[in-house]
Structure 1
Amino acid sequence: MLVCHYIGNEALGVATDSSQQHPSQKSRYWRWLQYIGGALIVLLLLAERVGWVPLPILERLEWQAYDLKVRGTLSEQADPSLAIIDIDERSLYEIGQWPWPRATVAELVETLFTEYDAGLLGIDVVFAEPETALWQQHWEELAREHPQLNDLAPPANGDEQLADTLADYPVVLGYYFQASRQPSDPPSVGKLPMPARVEESTPLPFPTPERFTANLPVLQQNALSAGYFDNPRVDADGVFRRVPMLQRWEGELYPNLPLAMLLTMLGQPSITPMIGEGAGVSQLEALDVGGFEVPVDARGAALVPWYGPRGHFDYYSAADVLEGRLEPGALAGKTLILGASAPGLMDLRSTPVGAVYPGPEINLSLLAGMLHQSIKAQPPWVLGFELVSLGSLGLLMVLLYPHLNAPLLLVVSGVLLATAVGGNLWAWFQGLALPIAGLLLLLVAQMLWHLAMNFLRETQQKRWVADRFGQYIPPQLVEDMVESGESFGLEGEERELTVLFSDVRGFTAFSESIPPSELTEVMNRLLTPLTGAIHQHNGTIDKYMGDAIMAFWGAPLHDEQHADHALEGAFAMLAALEDINREFTAEGKPALAMGVGLNTGPMSVGNMGSSFRMAYTVMGDNVNLGSRLEGLTKAYGVSVIVSDTTTEQAPGWCYRRLDKVRVKGRSTPLWILEPISRWESLTQSQREWHTAFEQAMDLYHAADFESAERAFKALPDQDDAPTQMYLERIELFKADPPPSDWDGVWTHTEK
């Protein structure tokens, strides 16, 4: 029809410029284009859901939507019968680095059951290698060299000691499988436990690893059972969301650690797979474990039920258990998992409720979900339900949206969006984890497509009217704001700048004195005026590091007085902190102190980072020195310390020399100074005090310690921290004089 119309116009010699076509005629073309585009969006999403057209972005959106639902519906109800025995940093500090002697582990296990009456212990650690004790290896040689040792019994075997302990108490060990194996990998080590009893009519698609690392046979034979703690089903973004309940090794099925603990608690019942029907296919839907139903997907993986952020369950330090510091009965009857949260032991995972989450708490969450029957289900009919939802909602939008104007289209889209989200959340609270990303993407894509088409259609109509009335409507110009051809890539330029580092002292203790819910507000109240003080004096904020601030002067805009302005900014920050402290003390909060370090020198400045994220920042040795100077403020008991290069660039200020030092990471000594005030602001008494202090410093550096001591003691302010520091140093040097070539440099070995 369109072709015939075109040929007819050409034959008649009629102009076919689209601007001459009537708006009503062009509106029909646009509407058909809306129908076709909307239908293609629906077909594309349906094809993705059945696996014909992969859309990785949709999978990632689904993960993000799932994570939002998890974080938004955390129960925060901890099960008091479940707890973690934590190999934390304090345990490593008190007991020693991991791995601990097997005798220590045996003592820990025995203490849990004999002293604290624990109910069941799962161990989220594998003991794959025999303990090698130097005394055992060389006992005979030592006995020959020292005959008196023949009367002593050789050292006890730690593995046998631990095995004997495991035999006396209900303990479930841990081990791990590997999904793939490299040619260089050693063969499997250790001994697997007895497999689970699973009533399979046909083999189900559980993961099939290629290697395992299990416990020593002597340990496994004495333990009740064991379960693996690896997860071959981590999503592509590295986040733990689901965990396979069983893995198949040489035809037998083995449970993960939480399932092995549940089986132990129930007396090792059989596991019955529950097969469901949905979308015309049969697939695994759940596992029946002694009457406990565990919802799983088609490959036997269960969604981890998250109850709260890290630390939701009770944690007990392993050191406290060994040292008997827990209250009697604190662990009575509890089901425990022994594992590590110390960062150095690498048992930390990324989860929907935290980027750094201890592996033992993941296992305990899964065990809690099985016990409380709170694991979300994704039954086989979910795919069919999603296809029907996408198809019906998509058809509605394809037919309806082309007839709606922009405001009404937004209203209808909002109603549909609220209905989809509300229904999905309702299903979530009913225990169903239904997909939502496809519906959301469909709604957004349809809304944007039809809004764009409406805009283009209205633009064409306005253009036709303008042409008809002889009005010239110029196109909108998009101005390029780039004023030069310079690249904003990874390279930087070198400039002389002044860098500032500030850190609030005692903020950790301060934050512990307030509820966590108030911490964000307090941080904003603290950082906002400090940032304002920097901006007020032409400073550039580089970054925030908790309660610490890094800033610099002299870039991006050139500033010939960058050192002077940096000093003004530092004193403005101190004044702002005084105002903040008045508010805090009035609210019953402790006052805060702050240390500021300033250094001036050549630095590299510019857009630095990666193709994923850029930051306008400064780098170089002089930046590191500024950080070191901030760290020295506490040692010298002053609020601001600057380098001698800063004083050279800001001669209008009065400084007192604090010390000639060699800081960590630099071999060249330098003078560090404390800015007092601008020279014109000094009172006569301040000038006299400054002169007297400098004279005392000259005597000290001339090694005339007797005279220097009298000079420092003659200063009017004896509570001054640097004065007291030098009096203490002089006492040391009087008792132990420095060498004749002493240069007065004090070396700092800490940052």
Structure 2
Amino acid sequence: MAVSGAGMARAIRLGVNQLGWQRLAIAGLLLALAMIVALRSWHLPLLSDAESALYDIRAANFAPATDTDKRVTLVVYTADTNRKTGQISPVDRTILAQALTNIETMGAKAVGIDVLFDSPQNDDPLLQSTLKGMKTPVFLAFADNRTNPEAITYEQEQDLRGFIAASRTSVVGPASILLETDADNVARRWPRQYAGLPPLLSVAMTAGGPDAAPAFARYTGPIRYRVPTGSDRPVFDKIPIDLLADPETAPLVIDAIKGRYVLIGGDFSDFDQFDTPFTRTGNPITGETRMIGVEVHASMLAQLLDKALPTRVPAWALWLGALAAIVLGAATAAARARTWQLAIAVVVQLAFALAFPFLLERAGFDTLGFPAMGWMVGWLMAYVAVGSALRAINAAQREFAQGALGKYLPRSVASEIMKNPDRLSLHGEKREIFCLFSDLEGFTKLTHAVEPEMIARLLNDYLDRLSGVVLEYGGTLDKFVGDAVVAFWGAPIAYPDDGARAVKAARAMYLAGEEFRKAAPAGVPKIGRTRVGVHYGEAIVGNFGGEGRIQYTALGDAMNTAARLESANKSLDTTVLVSREAAERSGLDWFRPMGRVSLRGRATPVEVFEPVPDADPEQRKLVVQAQAAHDSGDADQVRVLTDRIVELAHDDDALVNLAQRLRQTHKGESYVLG
């Protein structure tokens, strides 16, 4: 465990270094904000609107269906009532007094009046007299300017208080009709019980009796709205007040009053209408989108009568859920998975976050305030925070890795491998490749004649020049062995023109070596030529240093042959030698034959060629003819042609050397190198 802990600590330190403190701070801040969002989304702009919309959908879809509630009846003023009485605002109080007189004889449990008597009227004495004679409990609407300034002015409040004081008895008193809406003007929750206000209407009507539910005096959770079982069976019976006020028609509705709680209010299309969770989608049975205030009070009263307090989700559970959302978002961003697997994980997690509150709502939990959108947005923020941090780390790692790969691979190849790492085999595989081996003539002697610091400068300059050539021509740098450069083409990625690029690189390396010789500082002994060998054949290519460290190299006879060809340059007075296998696959016409040689450690002779792109055509022709004469065993012709070759060679030591070897060997023989 200690080892793994230390390893984890190192990984964390490395990640911090690669990410940088600034990005780390931003990621940490995003995660902290994600946690806040996941917990407080109901109190944040935009998100609160989304949360409200989701809650409304939940509440509307899982609203309990009910037959007509036989415990509560609505008695309402209507537009027809106003036309008959000739009064609109305030409503006629004489008809109310008549209705109360009839209700008194019908045995109602209690009466709640959702009408504010906040302006004196001529018929007030009649109504007040009726109220004082009531034996049935009656609760008069009360509101104050402090808690409900939009509903009542200070002057109106004084008139209201005066009316209530003049009407008050042991069974007649005030009740708060306050209804609070959220920021989007939707009545979703029970109002708060403010100090100085009488009890809420539904609480007051049931207080002291068998239906009392003290818990609702402090309750501020969701109002339980219900839907009817059919369009012809409303949740509450609704009776026009003029029907109840008429002594002739009142007996017809006695069954709707006896033993029930009666709520009296207005049913007008342009007044005292509230948006509810049904507003967005419409009541699934009636299609109605708004609800009159007295029906909202009736819904609260019915909820109280049913003692329907939804189960609160504990605060610790909300914290745990928010934390889980953040952790899952971060873990998903950090997961190493295929795209389709990641897509499934994302969809499943977000779908769960969306569906879970619906399941809670259906199970009877209070989801008003449940941060469903907060969890999803928090999850997304955590996903973005960690994903961005990891991308920054990966980018740094990729940049470092690509830079490291670029030390021995062409940038195009390194970039392709970074996109598709599978193309870089970390295990040995057989590949046919073009192998190159170079060497600087006389370097060992030079190390004994020059100070170590100068040797280091010279060697670094030389290797930089030659490795640059290899990469320029798309080769893979295998290794440096002292002053020798080992490279190959055809792995890790093979291209059709690998042969041409390998031969061109060999020639360019020789020329780069010549430039290096000319640029040597004063006082440095003469530097020898660069010799290069190129061969094509089978090799084992891959990582031979273990998984923990990329040691990409090539092994096998092909590499050894390239090294022998490089060494053969010394005996043949050439600078670049290319085997027939490599020359034929290069697609170039630069070559002049340099004969057949037997290399140490190789049983089969190798035909070698020298790439000389600017060779004299006549020289090249003579060399080809001389080689053909040698192959046919025509010694006389060989002698004639080689004399001519020497004559035209001038200072071309390689041609003179070839002529001598052709004379010294016979048909079918190869020149054995010492």
**TM-score clears 0.5:** no
TM class by smaller structure: 0.3 to 0.5
Choose 1 or 2 for highest CA Rg: 2
TM, length-normalised to structure 2: 0.39
Higher helix fraction (1 or 2): 2
Specify which structure has the higher proportion of strand: 1
